């Protein structure tokens, strides 16, 4: 028998290949009972379906139990490949009919009980509905002997073709159904995967959003802390500058030493502008400029030794030295000359005047002969500077500035100081005194009469007059800039 026939028999019974014979028998009994024509009186195809089930069962029985031989079961007369010969010995020797008898009783009990009424009424069952040779009785017989099978009409070519067509259509429909089911399963799996990807993306987005929110919160917190720190630093710095302008040196030292306020730089630190309550007139003015303007030599020295930069300039381009010269503080000049030799090129940034200005012109504004003398003696004034100063101080504009503008607030005898300054310029520049005016100016102001001199004084007697004792500067004065500096790191 062909493998195709076996596969078709398994399919008819609805079983998987390789099941046991007991499973096939039980399944056949259930199908025979369900497809029996008496159970389906309204179905014209019930008989054919009943026959197909019997054929499938016989084929699988012979395949799985070869000991049964080529005999025909008395209750499965649906195979048509025999030659019509019949031998009674085939059914009587060496054959066990227990299975057949059990099936007959099963069929009789579940199906034939309804026919007993018709048998008593003389109608009897339809012979074509049950297997040939089956004898219907009102009750199970006391003995059973199967009758020989009757020859059934062979299947016509048209019926066979129709049956094959139906089988093929069923197979094609089943194959199409399996493909559709596989496509549906594939689509469902793809949908599940897509949902999982979307869920993973959502989780990733949520996680990324949480990280970003956390980072933003941390950044904002850091910015707030930095802002508060800048505000506190600027507040401390402004307080130190306010104390310096008030002349409170102790508070200045405390702010620099204890509160880490940087002694270098202007009052407003870069990046701290928004925290300045009172904007200074000169944002580039340093603590050293303020101390030099006030003539506090001790504070100048202390700041210089605590990270102040002596070469820093204010908005007018002046160093602290220039401010001390302009305001007439010889003690500050002496400190600079002692610690920073003006003849040393390494210190040129301290003494070089801003453009269109010179150190001698700053000293004339101070009205202090001692300051003018120290500038001339240190060599910070060139011959051209002295000539320009001499021409200016003897011009009407210079006389007006020296007698009116620059003399305001100058302590002491202004006329005597102006006379000393003129004599210093004559001495160091080798000038002769200006001619005496022909008009009588004795009644004029004393500071104007200071410019009148009958004869040039002796340079030596002049130097002895304007130079205080011990104010002569040694050529070896001055020290290097990089001495004893405090650490400016992290200073306000």
| pLDDT at residue 303 in the model | 96
Per-residue pLDDT, 225: 92
- Which residues are 286's β-sheet partners? 266
Q: Position of tokens 């200073």?
A: 491
Evaluate whether 233 touches 492 at the Cβ level (below 8 Å). yes
pLDDT at 107: 63
Going by C-alpha positions, the residue among 91, 121, 100 that lies closest to residue 32 is 100
CB 360 within 8 A of CB 424: no
What is the secondary structure of 184-244 as a DSSP string? HHHHHHHHHHHHHHHHHHHHHHHHHHHHHHHHHHHHHHHHHHHHHHHHHHHHHHHHHHHHH
CB atoms closer than 10 angstroms to residue 377: 17
CB-count exposure of residue 54 (10 Å: 0-12, 13-18, 19+)? buried
Count the Cβ atoms, other than its own, within 10 Å of residue 399. Answer: 17
Residue 55: other Cβ atoms inside 10 A: 18
CA separation for the pair 75, 80 (Å, rounded): 14
Q: What is the pLDDT along the chain (492 residues), one digit of tens a residue?
A: 678 888 888 888 888 888 888 888 889 888 888 888 888 888 888 888 888 889 888 888 888 876 655 544 434 444 444 444 444 333 334 444 555 556 655 665 655 555 544 444 444 444 444 554 444 444 444 444 556 666 667 889 999 999 999 999 999 999 999 999 999 999 999 999 999 999 999 999 999 999 999 999 999 999 999 989 888 988 899 999 999 999 999 999 999 999 889 999 998 888 888 888 888 999 999 999 999 999 999 999 999 999 999 999 999 999 999 999 999 999 999 999 999 999 999 999 999 999 888 999 999 989 899 999 999 999 999 999 999 999 999 898 888 888 776 656 677 777 888 889 999 999 998 887 765 443 333 434 444 444 444 333 333 233 333 343 333 333 333 333 333 444 444 455
- If one counts every other C-beta atom within 10 angstroms of the C-beta of residue 238, the result is 22
Per-residue confidence (pLDDT) for residue 270, from 0 to 100? 85
- Residue 434: its pLDDT value, please? 63
Pairwise CA distance, residues 230 & 237, whole Å:
10
- Domain 3-154: give its CATH superfamily: DnaJ domain (1.10.287.110)
pLDDT for position 416: 87
Q: Domain locations in the chain? A: 3-154
């Amino acid at each position: 028998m062909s493998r195709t026939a076996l596969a078709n028999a398994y399919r008819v019974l609805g079983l998987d290949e390789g099941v046991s014979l007991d499973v096939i028998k039980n399944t056949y009994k259930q199908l025979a009972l369900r497809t029996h024509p008496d159970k389906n009186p309204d179905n014209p195809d019930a008989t054919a379906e009943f026959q197909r089930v019997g054929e499938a069962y016989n084929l699988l029985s012979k395949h799985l139990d070869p000991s049964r031989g080529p005999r025909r079961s008395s209750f499965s007369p649906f195979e048509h490949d025999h030659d019509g010969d019949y031998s009674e010995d085939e059914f009587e020797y060496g054959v066990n009919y227990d299975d057949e008898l059990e099936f007959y009783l099963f069929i009789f009990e579940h199906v034939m009980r309804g026919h007993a009424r018709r048998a008593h009424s003389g109608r009897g069952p339809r012979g074509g509905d049950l297997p040939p040779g089956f004898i219907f009785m009102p009750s199970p017989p006391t003995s059973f002997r199967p009758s020989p099978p009757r020859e059934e009409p062979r299947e016509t070519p048209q019926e066979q073709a129709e049956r094959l067509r139906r089988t093929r259509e069923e197979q094609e429909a089943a194959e199409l159904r399996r493909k559709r089911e596989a496509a549906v399963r594939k689509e469902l799996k793809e949908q599940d995967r897509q949902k999982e990807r979307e869920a993973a993306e959502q989780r990733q987005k949520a996680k990324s959003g949480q990280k970003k929110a956390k980072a933003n919160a941390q950044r904002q917190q850091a910015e707030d802390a930095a802002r508060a720190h800048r505000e506190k630093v600027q507040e401390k710095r402004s307080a130190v500058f306010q104390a310096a302008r008030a002349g409170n040196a102790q508070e200045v030292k405390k702010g620099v030493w204890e509160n880490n306020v940087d002694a270098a730089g202007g009052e407003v630190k870069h990046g701290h502008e928004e925290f300045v309550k009172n904007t200074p007139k000169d944002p580039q003015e340093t603590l050293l400029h303020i101390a030099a303007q006030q003539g506090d030599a001790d504070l100048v020295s202390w700041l210089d030794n605590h990270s102040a930069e002596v070469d820093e300039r204010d908005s007018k381009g002046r160093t602290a030295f220039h401010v001390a010269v302009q305001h007439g503080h010889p003690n500050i000049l002496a400190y600079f000359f002692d610690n920073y030799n003006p003849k040393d090129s390494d210190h040129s940034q301290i003494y070089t005047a801003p453009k269109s200005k010179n150190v001698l012109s700053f000293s004339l504004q101070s009205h202090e002969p001692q300051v003018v003398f120290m500038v001339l003696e240190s060599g910070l004034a060139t011959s051209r500077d002295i000539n320009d100063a001499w021409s200016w101080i003897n011009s009407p504009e210079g006389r007006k500035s020296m007698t009116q503008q620059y003399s305001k607030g100058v302590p002491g005898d202004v006329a005597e100081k102006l006379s000393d300054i003129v004599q210093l310029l004559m001495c160091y520049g080798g000038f002769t005194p200006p001619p005496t005016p022909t008009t009588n100016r004795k009644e004029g102001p004393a500071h104007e009469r200071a410019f009148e001199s009958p004869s040039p004084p002796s340079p030596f007697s002049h130097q002895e007059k304007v130079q205080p004792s011990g104010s002569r500067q040694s050529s070896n004065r001055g020290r290097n800039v990089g001495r004893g500096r405090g650490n400016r790191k992290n200073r306000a």
